[in-house]
Amino acid sequence: MKAQFMSARETAEYLNVSVSWIYRNASGSGLAPYRFGSGANAKIRFKASEVEAWAKQQRVL
């Protein structure tokens, strides 16, 4: 079964970008992060289905 949410590192690996790119540019480019928890212990995750859909939208014909 595929995980519903991916960490920033997993998302970066899937998209073949750096983790720092994910933190700096993801939300500005339309890839919405989800925050689990609060404060310094908050975890940023990305919904796997949204990451896949976003990647398909980036296709250049």
For 57, the 3-state DSSP assignment is: helix
CA-CA distance, 4 to 34, in Å (whole number)? Answer: 12
CATH 1.10.1660 fits 5-57, yes or no: yes
Q: What is the pLDDT of residues 21-44, one digit of tens each?
A: 999 998 899 999 999 999 989 999
| Across 5-23, average pLDDT | 95
Report pLDDT for 1.
52
Return mean pLDDT, the chain. Answer: 91
The domains of the chain are located at: 5-57
Report pLDDT for 60.
85
Report pLDDT for 59.
86
pTM of the model: 0.84
